[in-house]
Amino acid sequence: MIPSDWELVQRWREGEVIAFQELVAKYHQKVFMVVLGILNHREDALEIAQETFFRAYKKINEFKGGSTFYTWIYRIAVNLSIDFQRRKRRNPIELRETSAEVIEGEGEMGSDPYRDLQDRELGKRLMEAINDLTPDHKAVIVLRAIEGLSYKDISRILGCSQGTVMSRLHYARKKLQEKLGPFL
Amino acid sequence: MMRNCTTVQRSLGAWLDAELGEAERQEIREHLEKCPSCLAEKRRLERLQSALGEALRARASGIAFEPFWREVQRRISEREIPWHARFWDWVRSILYPQRLAWVVPVAMVFLVGAFSLREFFPGWLSGSQRTARTVVDSIDGHGLNVALFRESESRTTVIWLFEDHEEEDEASGSSTQGNPF
């Protein structure tokens, strides 16, 4: 039987490092996806995703179980990503990957090459359009798009109301639609 | 209530996310059956949502667990969370937006109350803490008017004596004169 997140957390608190390792294995890809969606830079996203689990390890006693483990870990990841991006904006050296880097590693073409090309072009432009959103709007759109999280969970992760989530999502989608007009 | 296209399109995202109540969902469903423009908007939103998920998933693929875990382990064994990060985490945990909604008015009431205390307890701040004040008193002593002008910061008192010529002035129309001591 697969242990629940809460059981793994309890075992981890009792000093069982393997339980923490199981949680990292379960969530590292998802956390990385969320962070990458906000930062749009693989190296930075990897760094922040690893920092997220390091912080979680050190702060496990603050996790009371009032929310689910994934909301808690996403909250750490989103806060770290937003802080990181604000720091970078104050000290802008290099944040975005080039379009070529974005396309790289996106897998081979499927059975419909024309459709694949169109999708890749859309994907590329989408990532560029997301970059122009504010960190708060990025976080909302990424959490919804990747995980399909409910507005309630997103509001817990971001520490805002469900109404705010709804209006941020509406605004972010409008902005993306405006930028991607002919591709949709 | 019938919805128009503007209100439907504003709620379409929440409708696709299944975040609306049954009544609203039904209204939008009925509107979409009759309105090709809103139906096209719904399809654009669906395409955007699926393209977003695919693009983000495709970019995040290929993260190997072993090197990721080794780096996390290295941090755990070598580092502590810096004090400023712990401080900001603590601030964030106590001052999230919903809490600010009542903390800010409470803080304002507290500040107004604190500033008003001096009005209710004039001797509350004493000695060197007292701020500079200017006081003008007027005394009528045996037909002689005395005006006291006190300025607390420089500890200066000016006594101004003058005779009451009010009745004479009314008769003659001239101004009152006096000599400061």
Q: What is the CATH number of the domain that holds A104?
A: 1.10.1740.10
Q: How far is CA B90 from CA A31, A44, A87, A155, in A?
A: 22, 24, 19, 19
Interface of B with A (CB under 8 A): 10, 13-14, 17, 19, 44-45, 47-49, 51-63, 65, 68-69, 71-72, 75-76, 79-81, 85, 88-89, 92, 96-98
Q: Are B52 and A126 in contact (CB under 8 A)?
A: yes
Q: Which residue has the higher pLDDT, B171 or A126?
A: A126
For B72, the closest of A53, A102, A119 (CB atoms) is: A53
Contact B47 A106 (CB under 8 A): no
Helix spans in B17-133 (H) = 22-34, 36-60, 65-78, 83-94, 97-120
pTM listed for this prediction: 0.66
Q: Dump pLDDT digits (tens) for A75-107.
A: 999 999 998 988 877 665 544 554 444 444 444
d(CA A105, CA B60): 9
Please count the other Cβ atoms lying within 10 Å of the Cβ belonging to residue A140: 30
Out of A79, A130, A150, the one facing B92 most closely (by C-beta) is: A79
Residue A165: pLDDT band by 50, 70, 90 thresholds?
very high
Q: Which of A49, A57, A151 sits opposite B76 (nearest CB)?
A: A57
Between residues A71 and B91, which one has the greater pLDDT? A71
> Closest partner residue to A106 among B47, B58, B88, by Cβ?
B58
| pLDDT tens digit sequence for B96-132 | 666 677 778 888 898 888 877 767 776 665 554 555 5
Cβ of residue A77 closer than 8 Å to a chain B Cβ? no
Q: Which domain holds residue A11?
A: 5-183
Q: What is the ipTM of this complex?
A: 0.77
The pLDDT assigned to B4 comes to 86
* B62 contacts on A by Cβ (under 8 Å): 105
For the cut 70, the answer to whether the pLDDT of residue A10 exceeds it is yes
Q: Which two tokens stand for residue B81?
A: 């969370």
B162 SS3 class: strand
- A31 and chain B: CB distance < 8 Å anywhere? no
The reply to whether A169 touches chain B by the CB within 8 Å rule is yes
CA B15 to chain centre: 34
Number of domains in chain A: 1
| Average pLDDT for B82-93 | 73
